[in-house]
Amino acid sequence: MWGVPMTRQTSAVVLLLFTSILLASCSGAPGGGCVSNCGGGNATLSLVLTATPPDPTLGLSVQTFAATVTGISLTPTTGAAVNVPLNTTAYIAELNRVTSDSTLLAAAVSVPAGTYTQMTVTFSAPRVTFCTQANPGVPGCAAGTLGSISGTAGTATISTNLSVSDSLETGVALNVNLANALTLSGQTISAVNLGATNVFTASALPPSSAKTDLASGELAHVDDVMGLVTSVSGSTLTVQTSTRGSITASANSSTQFSGDCTTLGFAQNFTCVKQIPRQLWIRC
């Protein structure tokens, strides 16, 4: 049995427990400075990717908006830029999917403690598929109105004031404003440029309590994860994905499992997941 459906909120909680992202008062997320314990050493940083959809009044019908993130670096106040180790060296992102959720770019990676004034994102293969005329009442496009446009590889630089402290953990959301990357003529997209002004921005995680339903200690909601189960141990399993690297999930009392687990004689836990070369779906 390989289907393990979970609700969006529950699966997010499960996937985020492994990162244990907690922001301390001196974590120094964008817009603030470090106030204590700001010496040398290494800090722990996690990055998630989100996106802002185009304004509905534009009348766009974007079917897919994909790009590959090939690198992220941080520029300190002094010294050379620091590369942030991503979950995978070629991170294929479907930006349409993260307009309501987020996906992990880097999970609890080590970076030198200090203050960083810029974040540089390197990307390739941006491509948008859209329809110039929606089909009312039916998903997709009216016949003959599907189009696609590709952009070029490049970089985007974000000004920020990010301070990370020795032995403390910091979370940052990297957001892509989809509309700012597009050149429009009515409902037709004539160009896509992820390097344009104000396409990428960065913000602190977690969001303010007024803007999220996350519990204390949780970072962000994470979208669907599909991959091969490489390890199962008690309430923890590890899934190897093709584009997101290795992701570990931990179950708790709020985790919802497929009813098929009980039907097949398994308990409502990870005992119904087996470590063999088959695919596992975790649905939000």
| 23 vs 270: which has the higher pLDDT | 270
Averaged confidence pLDDT in the chain: 76
164-181 residue pLDDT tens: 988 778 889 999 999 999
pLDDT of residue 137: 62
Q: How does pLDDT run across 216-225, given as a tens digit for each residue?
A: 556 555 656 6
Question: Residue 258 has what pLDDT?
Answer: 65
As given in the structure block, the two tokens for residue 60 are: 């766009």
DSSP tag of 187 = T
- Most confident stretch, 47-56, 100-109, 242-251, 265-274: 47-56
The residue-averaged pLDDT of 198-223 equals 68
pLDDT level of residue 232 (50, 70, 90 thresholds) = confident
36: pLDDT confidence band, cut at 50, 70 and 90? very low
| DSSP per-residue letters across 66-98 | EEEEEEEEEEESSS--EEPPPSSSSEEEETTGG
Sign of CA dihedral 205, 209, 211, 213: positive
**How confident is the model at residue 169, as a pLDDT?**
80
Average pLDDT over residues 4-23: 36
- pLDDT band, residue 158 (cuts 50/70/90): very high
Average pLDDT value for residue range 240-265: 67
Q: List, in order, residues 6 or more apart from 276 with CB less than 8 Å away.
A: 229
Sort 185 into a burial class: Cβ within 10 Å, 0-12 / 13-18 / 19+: exposed
Average pLDDT over residues 200-212: 72
pLDDT at 52 over 70: yes
For residue 133, give the 3-state DSSP assignment: coil
